[in-house]
Chains A and B, each alone.
Chain A
Amino acid sequence: MPRKSVYKAEIEHVQVMDENGVIDAAQSRNTLSDEEILELFKFMQQCRQLDEIAFKLQRSGRMGTYPQNKGQEAAAIGTAYAAKKGQDFLVPCYRENAALFMHGLPMHYVLLHWMGDERGNQIPEGVQQLPLCIPIGTQMLHATGIAWAFKMRKEPKVALTYFGDGATSEGDFHEAMNFASVYQVPLVFICQNNQWAISVPRESQMRSKTVAQKALAYDMPTYQVDGNDLLAVYKIAKECVDRARSGGGPSFIEAVTYRLADHTTADDARRYRDPKEVDMWLGRDPLIRLRKYLETKDLWDETKQKAHEEKCKAIVAEVVKTAEGIEKPSFDDIFDYTFAALNPELERQKKTARTSSLGQDPTQVGLAEQPQHV
């Protein structure tokens, strides 16, 4: 019998606005208006400012480890803007803060999270998102479950989940993709391919030429977009969100971007990255091309830039003040939040926290009750 082809596929790369802020007219349909671009540009700067300050907070010992988002804001904002705030559900990892803020998370929550205060993970009423997820890849399955719940309850909502290129090596990624595909849930997988998983470059992480092609195995519509191009990200994300909402199932987006900063504040990428590569990507910063575009449209200039920078600084200073002004968590919290209701085992532990034992009876071994503050 002659052999015949049973499957062929192609991955498209989508770019609407290039590094110089020039829009490809043929691609510009169904993207953003100039007013929207201006607003999102301003918002992007505010997020960048928070990111820079968060880094400084860590360096000055006022916060724990922090993974900078710098350079990846277009992928976060473009996708989040394509989803309906207060309705669609975001399931993040930790490098898309801008998406979370856009959907209503107060900025100081992210600072609280990295200061180790679990209250930074208490999502406010009406905000549709899960807290940051630090283990690699686990959140994609949670997103699949949430999207599955939308389908089961017949709610017209879409879930969007974020992860990096490294996460696509995890079993969780493949299991989530398979479940989402088999059950046809309303979910958009957004891979921020920032080229580096700590010190491992993408080409050592996978032999695949694109991340997007991994979705072919799950028969999902899949795209590679310029992740630093706000318009391209938005255009494709909108298509995926709309399809999911109308019952068309899950999609996959590979947003090609770059981690301009270290993996986290505990990392020093200079030890393993070629500075020329970083320089090249600095020129592709989403803020630069948006500014160029807006300037050619006479919607932006140096005076406006200076004024906006001052405004961002003031907003972020206020955010830091709010986060640092919140009273430190109480020792009781670690017991109170372990179960829905405190059980006798933990009640005893709460009283006898001087030892690591569940069973110590203070009256028998002569221990005083644990003081609240050491």
Chain B
Amino acid sequence: MAAELMLPEMGLEPMGGGTAREIQFREALREAMSEEMRKDDRIFLMGEEVAQYNGAYKISQGMLDEFGPKRIIDSPISENGFAGLAVGAAMYGLRPIIEFMSWSFSLVAADQILNNVPKMLYMSGGQWGCPVVFRGNDGAGGQLGSTHSWCVEGLYSNVPGVKIAIPSNPYDAKGMLKTSIRDDDPVFFLESERMLGDKAHVPEREYTIPFGKAALRRQGDDCTVVSFGRPVNFCMDAADELKKEGINIDVLDMRTIRPLDIDSILDSVKKTGRIVVVDQCWPFASVASEVVTQVCERGFDYLDHQPLRVNTEDVPTPYAKNLEALYLPHKGKIMSAVKASLGRL
């Protein structure tokens, strides 16, 4: 399975005379939900503040006006409650979209989203699927402090039975959310509050983005850099900077980590012999650890340098702005790791 080529010189798609419409990440999410809801009346959106208040992050702005209170539903502050309600509604044939104001709050719903949602289909011998999309803000960067800055992908990706999507830009956000809503399996859709205002070209035509297929954002023979979600943008910044120094890297945006497009990673490593994984979770038993393990298991002979990881520091997320910035993966750390893998530090 080859990664989808999405290099800057190609543009996000051939614009062929049409207008290059640019919208925000949050608008892309809203369009994905609204377009699907117009086509399928089984879909509803439930969460804290999603209706009257238009969403804590204004993602669902205007949706109550369009779809009414039966499909855009403010819930009591009870994450385990509405997660469990969604399980029942999905098992009875509806298609819930559940907004966690923050994935940090999903921890109180762990029994429903980890112990029920991913196991229903298995435990019922393939009968009772649970097609719920759980979505919301994931990750640090907004000075929200230790308890509100969770990156849940490290923790949740350990559990079989869910799909985990982490878009890095508005175009992917729309296409991947549509895929999530149409999927017959449960999907955890992780958005970064820091990216909601990001603008990019999002076509008005209908499109979806398949799960388990990475996008190649930069191309180069010197090193493979793998990332997902917001840090992909830091990797691209690092790639542009490194290019000036004559270092050319592959930047693979995984888009989904469950399923993981390990074949595209291996294809790239065969070419470069080097890999740096950039992951905004803590390092211990992280998605980065998993990628490195699989590369070692399946591509050990191709490596010319030990795999390297750029994670957050292994401490609770700091609140202070300067400390938080240093704690997260950033361009400088990524550049250093790439140079280290090339022996050019």
Q: Do A and B actually bind?
A: yes
* Residue positions of A touching B, CB distance < 8 A: 89, 91, 117-123, 130-131, 135, 138, 140-150, 152, 171-172, 175-176, 178-179, 182, 333-334, 336-341, 343-345, 357-361, 364-365
A-B complex: 5 closest residue pairs judged by Cβ atoms: A145-B88, A141-B84, A175-B81, A359-B294, A142-B88
Let me know if B87 and A142 touch, CB within 8 A: yes
Let me know if B123 and A135 touch, CB within 8 A: no
The contact of B89 among A135, A146, A336, A359, by CB within 8 Å, is A146
CA distance A365 to B333 in the complex (A): 34
Residues of B within 8 A of A345 (CB): 212, 258-260, 262
- Shortest CB-to-CB span from A65 to chain B, Å, is 16
Residues of A within 8 A of B19 (CB): none
Let me know if A175 and B84 touch, CB within 8 A: yes
Residues of A within 8 A of B122 (CB): 118, 334, 337-338
Let me know if A123 and B112 touch, CB within 8 A: no
Kindly specify which of B124-132, B196-204, B234-242 makes contact with the partner chain. Answer: B124-132
Let me know if B297 and A360 touch, CB within 8 A: yes
Residues of B within 8 A of A357 (CB): 293-294, 297
Knowing A343-B212, A344-B212 are in contact, say whether A178-B81 is a contact too (CB < 8 A).
yes
CA distance A146 to B40 in the complex (A): 18
Residues of B within 8 A of A343 (CB): 212, 259
CA distance A359 to B266 in the complex (A): 11
The contact of B128 among A131, A149, A333, by CB within 8 Å, is A131
Mind listing 30 A-B residue pairs with CB under 8 Å? A118-B123, A121-B123, A131-B124, A138-B111, A140-B84, A141-B80, A141-B112, A142-B85, A142-B87, A142-B91, A144-B88, A148-B89, A149-B89, A171-B80, A172-B80, A172-B81, A175-B78, A175-B81, A178-B78, A179-B76, A179-B82, A179-B85, A182-B76, A337-B124, A337-B126, A341-B184, A345-B259, A359-B293, A359-B297, A360-B297
Residues of B within 8 A of A179 (CB): 75-76, 78, 81-82, 85
Residues of A within 8 A of B116 (CB): 135, 138, 142
Let me know if B115 and A365 touch, CB within 8 A: no
Let me know if A146 and B44 touch, CB within 8 A: no
CA distance A25 to B144 in the complex (A): 65
Residue of A whose beta carbon sits closest to that of B183: A340
Let me know if B93 and A149 touch, CB within 8 A: yes
Task: Report B46-93 residues with CB < 8 Å from chain A CB.
Answer: 70, 75-76, 78, 80-93
Per-residue 0/1 for B128-140: is the Cβ within 8 Å of any A Cβ (1 yes, 0 no)? 1100000000000
Chain B: interface residue total (CB-CB under 8 A): 51
- Shortest CB-to-CB span from A337 to chain B, Å, is 4
CA distance A149 to B92 in the complex (A): 7
CA distance A364 to B94 in the complex (A): 44
Residues of A within 8 A of B1 (CB): 344
Task: Report B9-30 residues with CB < 8 Å from chain A CB.
Answer: none
Let me know if A145 and B85 touch, CB within 8 A: yes
